[in-house]
Structure 1
């Protein structure tokens, strides 16, 4: 079977994404020159989908957040019915010691139902899966003179189940993000970009084997205010998977796109829903090298639902 001909090379997508944000920034400058320079009253921390905003809470604020990411649909392992669904809800409590720094410890859970999937054992379970601590520091806050924010976030995570196969293990990972967002049009349009490095080390229980892997990804989104409380926008993500914790050997890539909805339920409460489907992908494994998608390291569909309340 021949591989499909793509209209562009996947490696060009991160550059294209950054170029699009740069063009949006040029529009922002024109909008400001036209006289639109109202203060930014929107908190971008939970505004975007899989991309995250740079804002932190005010000193002394607290927040309870439920954040669930679901992954669905992988390659069938043989004839007959098959299915893959896995969700990892995290319930967290955020505190803000200063205006620029937040700490968010959380408890992670796992629910999955997999059957007849290539390289994945049949399994149905629901369990407590570990914990995490999200540390975030905002280096630059958006202002009228410079309407962009910059932040760095690190989230060490311990899990008891491997994320793809659902096998028992001691898994240590570190989601590290460089985040940039900007107010493109005052009170109307915002953009965000994340560069993410996520190394992981898993020690399988019983077998004593150690597996090291890492992901490198770039995500970006633009969100528009539709009403006073409703925001909508598209999101694009380019992900690359590697063997080894330090991007040692390239295994494959995938590109996801989908819509994001953010609804401000009340002054203190929010709901964000993001869906993403894999548009293109490539698995370097010889068994799947001629397939259009990468369904070994990634699922075909992702869904993120995040809601919370601050006080």
Structure 2
């Protein structure tokens, strides 16, 4: 009896040891799977937080994009806006053309804030135009300081962005008449844009308020005016580094620096082309023509366009190099 009971005793002990082994080995086998799951989740989250690879800052035409470069990045920019064709003052030949080249330097102080001081120039030729003296000259015009803050970047999880841009400006020549003056203005833009189709389609919209005070040289007469504008655009990637799309702007002119008295409005439409010339260089072309306008001046109220506060055609050429 003693021999039988002694030989049977190892079985319960073996079962116990096997159960302990299985119990302890199960979490060890599960740990790599759980770790992989955590890594995949972290990777997906990181990918979703990655900013959009397209820089919309200069992608659009007369509409600005929200983007600001990385901290420490710099850019040299040549930006020219031309305005052509206004109302004839009488019989005979007439013509109006004014171009405003701006040479500026942009520095990104942080990933969300940039400053851009600029030098302005002015070249124009006008003859037989209502309300505009006959002039033909080119000269240095003044300067500006653009300050821009982007509230957040576009990502896969959040494909839109928002920015605020303020630009105090000083000019020596009135923008329409080309008369000598001390002109102070403060253009402010609320900017929004979005990636509508990944790697294919982007859209942007601006709300712009631009008050201006001009003291004419000689007479000392002070003129106060302001404009309120909305612009919007869609840009599609059509081939490689080439982008193309339509743009529309609605502009309202006021007497007084605080939108005091409505004087007229106009609607502009036209195409925009953006080409990435090199990895750090780009060229943007935008053309805009007035398709509708109304002037409250009784002398021009029955005309089809508003050519008193605005011109008929606008052209913008912008070239920049980042480094």
CA RMSD, Structure 1 to Structure 2 (Å) = 1.2
Larger RCO: 1 or 2 (CA < 8 Å, sep 6+): 1
Structure 1 residues 273-292: aligned runs within 5 Å: 273-292=285-304
Counterpart of 2:253 in structure 1 is 241
SS at match of 2:167: strand
Structure 1 residues 123-142: aligned runs within 5 Å: 123-142=135-154
Structure 1 residues 214-253: aligned runs within 5 Å: 214-253=226-265
* Structure 1 contact 74–84 (Cα < 8 Å) conserved: yes
- Distance in 1, matches of 2:165 and 2:261, equals 25
The answer as to 2:189 corresponding to 1:197 is no
The answer as to 2:270 corresponding to 1:254 is no
Q: How far 1:180 moved relative to its partner?
A: 0.1
Counterpart of 2:219 in structure 1 is 207
Pick one of 69, 80, 93 that aligns with 2:105.
93
Q: How far 1:40 moved relative to its partner?
A: 2.5
- Distance in 2, matches of 1:189 and 1:228, equals 13
Counterpart of 1:7 in structure 2 is none
Counterpart of 1:113 in structure 2 is 125
The answer as to 2:301 corresponding to 1:295 is no
Q: How far 1:39 moved relative to its partner?
A: 6.2
Q: How far 1:38 moved relative to its partner?
A: 9.2
* Structure 1 contact 39–186 (Cα < 8 Å) conserved: no
The answer as to 2:78 corresponding to 1:66 is yes
Moved over 3 A (4+): 36-39
Give the count of matched residue pairs: 276
Q: Give structure 1 stretches of 5+ with no counterpart.
A: 1-35
Q: Give structure 2 stretches of 5+ with no counterpart.
A: 1-47
| TM-score, length-scaled by structure 1 | 0.88
- Distance in 2, matches of 1:237 and 1:39, equals 28
Cα-to-partner distance string for 1:207-245 (whole Å, 9 max, x where unaligned):
110000000000000000011210000000000000000
Cα-to-partner distance string for 1:23-78 (whole Å, 9 max, x where unaligned):
xxxxxxxxxxxxx9996211000000000000011100000000000000000001
Pick one of 47, 53, 56 that aligns with 2:68.
56
* Structure 2 contact 49–155 (Cα < 8 Å) conserved: no
* Structure 2 contact 193–202 (Cα < 8 Å) conserved: yes
Structure 1 residues 169-188: aligned runs within 5 Å: 169-188=181-200
* Structure 1 contact 37–186 (Cα < 8 Å) conserved: no
- Distance in 2, matches of 1:293 and 1:308, equals 34
Structure 1 residues 139-150: aligned runs within 5 Å: 139-150=151-162
User: Considering only CA atoms, is the larger Rg found in Structure 1 or Structure 2?
Assistant: 2
Higher helix share: 2
- Distance in 2, matches of 1:301 and 1:179, equals 24
| TM-score, length-scaled by structure 2 | 0.84
Pick one of 172, 181, 187 that aligns with 1:160.
172
